[in-house]
Amino acid sequence: MNLVAAIAERNAAELPGKRDEDWRWTDLRGLVREAPAPSAPFAGDLPAGRFDALADARKVLVNGGEAVIEIPKGASAVLALRLVGRGPGSHVASAAIRVGANARLTLLETYERDGGTLADATLTIAVAEGAAVERIVLAEDHEDAVSISQAEVTLSPAARFAQTVLASGARRQRLETRVLHPGGKAELRLDGLYLLGDKRHSDQTTVVTHAGAEGLTVQLTKGVVRDQARGVFQGRIVVEEGADRTDAKMGHHGLILSDRAEIDAKPELEIYADDVACAHGNTVGALDDEALFYARQRGIPEDEARALLTEAFVGEVVDRIDHEGAREVVRAWVADRLRA
């Protein structure tokens, strides 16, 4: 049974748990003993969304619902999509997004779920030939939410898809992206950043399947955890038979700033073609003592030196965002988190 069905049928026993290989570090079954009642319909007012000012179209899904979004051939749009959970309860939202040939879309997506929610969102994003999509996901759920997002992205040859997922965690939070990559000079960038404190948990999972020759994938995820927070990264790159000349690179780098925080990572390569260049790098550790020493020696107080180094560490991910307005919103959001 999948997650959507488990939530819809309020069947807590069928929720994925640590015995499922893909969910080993994001145990829902062990956490949710009883599925909450369905979320009540919401009629009140919502505060303005973080990206509202940048968008020329807006869509809000509160406590479930469906959206179908079509960007016609050759068109260009900036869309703000908000997935909101108000009050406790469980729900599933879904969105189907089709981007026509040579169209351009900037998708600015936010997750804002209250404490006591158990929510999933399923998105399908189809990108036609020559189209370019930049997806920026900002997940700022309540610390007691159980918040899941599952996106299936299908690319056509010569399409471009760039994504940056930013997460501040929740009781359990998982942002999952699966991409079907046809090769054919299509380009994919999948970036992520998690900044976690208290007892928050966040899981960024990606699966990229290269099904055709000449595909390009670059991936960079970074994370900072402190207090008793737990960051999870799972990235899998599959190169199918015949997907020759695939060039895929994955990087995950985590920073643990307290003794009781945890980072779990699993960067996987699954390769069935021989003419490929695939690599991943993964590091987990504390701030570099020598860099700290250097900064302090130059008269920068220790706290400030730490903040500076941490900012520099995460800055790389933020800098890679193409959309200027969104990049600045994200930069401010990140700075707020790091100072908190």
Partner 1 sequence: MAAVKQTVEHVAALEKYQHGFVTEIEQDFAPKGLNADIVRFISAKKDEPEWMLQWRLEAFERWQAMEEPAWAKVSFPRIDYQDSYYYAAPKTKEGPKSLDEVDPDLLETYKKLGIPLKEQEVLAGVEGAPRYAVDAVFDSVSVVTTFKKELAQAGVIFCSMSEAIREHPELVRKYLGSVVPVSDNYFACLNSAVFSDGSFVYVPPGVRCPMELSTYFRINAENSGQFERTLIIADKGAYVSYLEGCTAPMRDENQLHAAVVELFALDDAEIKYSTVQNWYPGDPETGKGGIYNFVTKRADCRGDRSKVSWTQVETGSAITWKYPSCVLRGNESSGEFYSIAITNGRQQADTGTKMIHLGANTRSRIISKGISAGKSSNTYRGLVSAHPKAKGARNFTQCDSLLIGKQCAAHTVPYIEARNGQAKFEHEATTTRLSEDQLFYVMQRGLSQEEAVQLLVNGFVKDVLQELPMEFAVEAQKLVAISLEGSVG
Shortest spacing between CB 15 and partner 1, in angstroms: 20
d(CA 245, CA 213) in angstroms, rounded, equals 6
Q: At what angle do helices 324-339 and 302-319 cross, to 10 degrees?
A: 150
Q: Please give the residue ranges that form the binding site for partner 1 (CB under 8 A).
A: 21, 241, 254, 256-286
**Considering beta carbons, is residue 66 or 275 the nearer one to partner 1?**
275
Shortest spacing between CB 314 and partner 1, in angstroms: 17
**Considering beta carbons, is residue 278 or 295 the nearer one to partner 1?**
278
Shortest spacing between CB 140 and partner 1, in angstroms: 24
Q: Give the other-Cβ count within 10 Å of 111's Cβ.
A: 26
**Considering beta carbons, is residue 75 or 278 the nearer one to partner 1?**
278
Shortest spacing between CB 12 and partner 1, in angstroms: 24
Shortest spacing between CB 129 and partner 1, in angstroms: 28
Q: What is the 3-state secondary structure (H, E, C) of the chain?
A: CCHHHHHHCCCHHHCCCCCCHHHCCCCCCCCCCCCCCECCCCCCCCCCCCCHHHCCEEEEEECCEEEEEEECCCCEEEEEEEEEECCCEEEEEEEEEEECCCCEEEEEEEEEECCCEEEEEEEEEEECCCCEEEEEEEECCCCCCEEEEEEEEEECCCCEEEEEEEECCECEEEEEEEEEECCCCCEEEEEEEEEECCCCEEEEEEEEEECCCCCEEEEEEEEEECCCCEEEEEEEEEECCCCCCEEEEEEEEEEECCCCCEEEEEEEEEECCCCEEEEEEEEEECCCHHHHHHHHHCCCCHHHHHHHHHHHHHHHHHHCCCCHHHHHHHHHHHHHHHHC
What is the DSSP pairing of strand 132-139 with strand 276-285? Answer: unpaired
**Considering beta carbons, is residue 77 or 284 the nearer one to partner 1?**
284
- Who's near 305: CB < 8 A, 6+ residues apart? 292, 295, 296
Shortest spacing between CB 283 and partner 1, in angstroms: 5
**Considering beta carbons, is residue 24 or 189 the nearer one to partner 1?**
24
Shortest spacing between CB 221 and partner 1, in angstroms: 13
Shortest spacing between CB 249 and partner 1, in angstroms: 10
**Considering beta carbons, is residue 25 or 111 the nearer one to partner 1?**
25
**Considering beta carbons, is residue 236 or 320 the nearer one to partner 1?**
236
**Considering beta carbons, is residue 80 or 255 the nearer one to partner 1?**
255
